[in-house]
Amino acid sequence: MAILQWSPLDISAWRKKYVKENAVYMRALRIDLTGDTIWPRTKRHTCQSISWLLELTLMPDAGNAPKAISGLATFTSDGTVIETDTSETAPMPVSAQLDTGQEGVAVFGTPGHGIWQPSPVFPYLFIRFTNLFANPDSTLHSKKIVMMTVNLNTTDDQFSGRYSFVVLDPTGHAIMPGLGTVRAQLMAHLFLP
Instruction: Walk along the chain (193 residues) and give the pLDDT tens digit of each residue.
Output: 333 444 445 544 544 454 344 444 444 444 333 344 433 433 444 567 889 999 999 987 766 767 899 999 999 989 999 999 998 887 877 764 555 556 667 888 999 999 999 888 878 999 999 999 998 889 999 999 999 999 999 888 899 999 999 999 999 999 889 999 999 999 987 777 7
Domain assignment of residue 59, yes or no = yes
**Residue 52 Cα to chain centre, angstroms:** 9
Domain assignment of residue 133, yes or no = yes
Domain assignment of residue 138, yes or no = yes
**Signed CA dihedral, 44, 25, 155, 82: sign only:** negative
CATH number of the domain residue 132 falls in: 2.40.128
Domain assignment of residue 32, yes or no = no
Where do the H-state alpha helices sit in the chain?
A: 8-14, 23-29
Q: What residue numbers bound the domain in which 135 lies?
A: 48-186
Domain assignment of residue 105, yes or no = yes
- Rounded to 5°, angle at Cα 168 from 178 and 74: 70
Residues 6+ apart with CB under 8 A from 5: 43, 45, 46
Domain assignment of residue 28, yes or no = no
C-alpha neighbours within 13 Å on the C-beta side of residue 138 = 0
User: What three-state secondary structure class fits 39?
Assistant: coil
Is 183 in contact with 162 (CB distance < 8 Å)? no
User: How many independent structural domains does the chain possess?
Assistant: 1
Is 148 in contact with 126 (CB distance < 8 Å)? yes
Domain assignment of residue 168, yes or no = yes
Domain assignment of residue 65, yes or no = yes
Whether the model clears a pTM of 0.85, i.e. scores above it, the answer is no
- Closest CA relative to residue 126, chosen from 166, 164, 178: 164
